[in-house]
Copies of this chain bind each other. A is one copy, B any other.
Amino acid sequence: MPVTLRDVAQKAGVSAMTVSRVVNGSSGVDAETQRRVEEAILALHYIPNRLARSLVSQQTKTIGLIVPDVVNPFFAPVVRGAETTARKAGYRVLLCNSEGDLRLEREYIEDLVSHRVEGLLLAPAGDHSRLALLPLLKGGFPLVLLDRAVPETDCDIVISDNVAGAKKLTEHLIAVGHRRIAHFTDSDDVSTGRDRLEGYRQGLATSGIPASDDLIFPTTTDRMGGYRAAQLMLELDPLPTAIFTVNNMTALGAMQALRERGISVPEDIGLVCFDDVEHLAVLSPFLTVVDQPGETFGSLGAQLLFERISGKAGNRSRRIVLQADLIVRKSCCVNTGVPAR
């Protein structure tokens, strides 16, 4: 049904090859012929079939990008950064949402390989993503991990200094007067969660505050997870004076639970987290956070990937660790001191 090269060729009274040359801007085509061909292309609304083209050229000029959640204010800029960089390099991005689900992630990886993407940018669902990655790595498939490390998986990666960031956040809370600090952490399966927990522990240790397991709440990193963890936490007596949540959505969920109990931040309890909540920060200079440069993750990741694809990368895998910047706002009683309770 769609118009092919041959249709154009016929209409222009030339061979398919000539049309191909015109389409690809090759030199060595008579000006008059070129004009006729271009006319035919326009008249027929010819659009080249990239499938066929890729099949012969063995180049799809496409990379895959899998993130756990496009909607998350952290990953959205990651996507944008990757897309912009890719576009500049003449590449398209196939974007997939794994929803943090290993099965879905695996499906998507197969799908992308099947589409013959030339490389893959992946913010893995968790440590168990390893199984899906192993065959790729063995085959020397260009792969760059984003944001999350996968144990015993040696490949290029762009990552934050999560331990340092979490430590800073914790130390900040302590500096402001908190000593009883709850931590909402990820399932044990995700490197960022582990590292931030570690940073939390180190932060406490520096001040000689014992880390109590009662104050550590493993949960999921979505809003619901934060909500549930907060509900559990609220049964503690005495309550912690501050919470450090593993990411932005968790912090929002926690806020929600706190609000429902009439507990306000920062007056009654301090709250800090990793990742900013883009639009929210505009409204009220509110949550104290470790802000991660999402766009940089995306563009650096894409750069690494293109170096890999073009073979300029060498054998050793590269590891880029981005600094985690503390953004101090009002959510931890900086102004009011430690809450009364």
Contacts and interface: CB of A to CB of B under 8 A. Distances in A.
Interface of A: 1-2, 45, 47-52, 54-55, 58, 60, 70-71, 73, 76-77, 79-80, 83, 92, 94-95, 97, 110-111, 113-116, 135, 138-139, 223, 249, 252-253, 255-256, 259, 277-280, 282-284
Contacts of A55: 49, 51-52, 55
Counting chain B CB atoms within 10 Å of each CB, which of A58, A73, A255, A283 scores highest? Answer: A283
A76 B83 contact: no
B115 A50 contact: yes
A47 B132 CA distance: 13
24 contacts: A2-B116, A45-B139, A47-B114, A50-B111, A50-B116, A51-B54, A51-B55, A51-B116, A71-B76, A71-B77, A71-B80, A83-B97, A223-B279, A223-B282, A249-B279, A252-B283, A253-B282, A256-B282, A256-B283, A259-B284, A277-B279, A279-B279, A280-B280, A280-B283
**Count of this chain's copies in the oligomeric assembly:** 2
Given A50-B114, A51-B115, A71-B80, 11 more contacts: A49-B116, A51-B60, A55-B55, A70-B95, A71-B77, A73-B279, A223-B282, A252-B282, A252-B283, A279-B279, A279-B280
Contact of A79 (B50, B70, B139, B284): B70
Counting chain B CB atoms within 10 Å of each CB, which of A48, A94, A253 scores highest? Answer: A94
A74 to B, nearest CB: 11
A299 to B, nearest CB: 15
Contact of A48 (B77, B114, B279, B282): B114
A47 B279 contact: no
Contacts of A60: 51
A49 B279 contact: no
Given A54-B51, A114-B48, A116-B2, A255 B277 contact: no
A117 to B, nearest CB: 11
Counting from the closest, the 7 A-B pairs by CB-CB distance are A71-B76, A50-B114, A95-B95, A51-B51, A256-B282, A45-B135, A51-B55
